[in-house]
A and B are shown apart, each in its own frame.
Chain A
Amino acid sequence: GESVGLHLPTLSVQEGDNSIINCAYSNSASDYFIWYKQESGKGPQFIIDIRSNMDKRQGQRVTVLLNKTVKHLSLQIAATQPGDSAVYFCAETRKTSYDKVIFGPGTSLSVIP
């Protein structure tokens, strides 16, 4: 069935290194993707988004890459900091329903000082 999923459930990185979190989606009709960060006890926080007519978008220390050929999405965090430790979710909305955001299961990022 249709799904949004992550390759790795947990990721540990050294402080200062770059982090890459991957996500796969199965529906080629998906046309808008979002990365959220969720810290313990808090709601998801918007990080960055990308539309299907783009393959790369950069923010502050974060970059999202979209490969529609293989239905793959990634989040790159440069110079990872302890404050980046959280669960990261990729999410999608589809052309048939812009309003319903479908979340993947999440990747837990742990930054080692």
Chain B
Amino acid sequence: DTGVSQDPRHKITKRGQNVTFRCDPISEHNRLYWYRQTLGQGPEFLTYFQNEAQLEKSRLLSDRFSAERPKGSFSTLEIQRTEQGDSAMYLCASSFSLEEETQYFGPGTRLLVL
């Protein structure tokens, strides 16, 4: 499968715990995006990388959230001290850096904070 992959697909955690998600983009894509999606809503932009540089962060990305893409390939999204309101689907997308390029999404990681 040469599409965007995410791991894990599901995560259940207790409030206050830290969680980390991984995204592997399509290999030739140099842009990588993180979105959050709650039930019945469209995905909301969180942050994006061009290669290893994090170029934009949404106001939705609180201090408890951190994303990295150390080698410009895979990315991790960490949530510290999780809260019940963090329960959502976390989606990763990638694209090739051209004007108005299409973003291709992974299957997402569904997080449930108890």
| Of B42-50, B61-69, B70-78, B80-88, the one touching chain A | B42-50
B105 proximal to A (CB < 8 A): yes
Contact B106 A43 (CB under 8 A): yes
A42-B108, A43-B4 given; A100·B56 CB < 8 A: yes
Per-position contact with B for A1-28: 1 when CB-CB < 8 Å, else 0? 0001000000000000000000000000
- Interface range for B: 20 to 34
Contact A99 B55 (CB under 8 A): yes
Contact B107 A43 (CB under 8 A): yes
Contact A106 B40 (CB under 8 A): yes
Residue of A nearest to B103 (CB): A101
**Alpha-carbon distance A44/B44, docked complex (angstroms):** 12
With beta carbons under 8 angstroms apart, the residue of A51, A89, A91 that contacts B100 is: A51
B2 proximal to A (CB < 8 A): no
**Alpha-carbon distance A45/B100, docked complex (angstroms):** 17
Residues of B contacting A44 in the complex (Cβ-Cβ under 8 angstroms): 43, 91, 105
Contact B42 A100 (CB under 8 A): no
* A-B contacts, CB under 8 A, total: 57
Residue of A nearest to B97 (CB): A99
Residues of B contacting A43 in the complex (Cβ-Cβ under 8 angstroms): 4, 91, 93, 105-108
Please, how many residues of chain A have a CB less than 8 angstroms from a CB on the other chain?
A: 26
B102 proximal to A (CB < 8 A): yes
A45-B105, A99-B55 given; A32·B42 CB < 8 A: no
Residues of A contacting B41 in the complex (Cβ-Cβ under 8 angstroms): 105-106
Residues of B contacting A100 in the complex (Cβ-Cβ under 8 angstroms): 45, 48, 56
Among A42, A98, A101, the most chain B Cβ lie within 10 Å of the Cβ of A101
Residues of B within 8 A of A (CB): 4, 31, 33, 40-45, 48, 55-56, 91, 93, 99-108, 110
Task: List 14 other contacts, CB 8 Å, given A101-B43, A102-B45.
Answer: A32-B100, A41-B107, A42-B107, A43-B4, A46-B102, A49-B102, A89-B43, A91-B42, A93-B100, A98-B99, A99-B31, A100-B48, A103-B43, A103-B44
- Subset of 12 A-B contacts with CB under 8 Å: A44-B43, A44-B91, A46-B102, A89-B43, A97-B56, A98-B100, A99-B55, A101-B33, A101-B43, A101-B103, A105-B41, A106-B41
